[in-house]
Each structure stands twice: as C-alpha cells, then as structure tokens.
Amino acid sequence: MGHELLWPCPLPDLIDAVVAGTVIRDALSALYRTGRFLGEYDHRSGIYDYTDRSTANLESFIGIERIHVGENEVYRLDYHGGLIKP
C-alpha cells in the first residue's frame, strides 16, 4: 500500500527524477553489496550525498532516505515496513 506525498523542490535545478533515481540505484547497489539492509548508510555520488537512517528490526521498521547537495536537502523519502505474517 504505497503512499507518496510530493511537494515542490525549492531548488529544482539541483536534481531531477532521473538524477535522483541514478543516485538511489548507485547507493542501494553499494549497500546491498555489503550484505545488509537496515541501519545507517551514507554514500557519495558526484555532488550528491545519499543518507539512509532506519531502525534495524525486520519485524517492523521505519526510515528516512535523503539526498543532499551541500547543506540543501533535495530529495526525501520516509518509509516503513516489516514482516507480514499469515
């Protein structure tokens, strides 16, 4: 049941959907190569700093994924999930 809330980026020249997707793909590919999923993770991709902060419990987790250019937050995703038991 994905829900997305969108708001205008105050600095649209710093990032677009294609760049954000590329930064996220690169960061998550590097994260998955470490063999883990949750917790703290930082990744640099050109001028973009990707950060992910989440709880480390697979049963129920929340997190925030962000991309910064310098001090400017140009992308943010709040997420949550967990195990589904039948």
Residue boundaries of the structural domains of the chain: 12-81
Hey, what's the torsion of the CAs at 46, 32, 50, 81, to 10 degrees? 160
pLDDT of residue 38: 85
Give pTM, 2 decimals: 0.81
What does pLDDT average to in each consecutive run of 10 residues of the chain (86 residues)? 53 82 95 89 96 89 95 93 86
pLDDT of residue 34: 92
Count the alpha carbons within 13 Å of 20 in the hemisphere toward its beta carbon: 16
pLDDT of residue 9: 56
Here the tokens at position 33 are: 């190569």
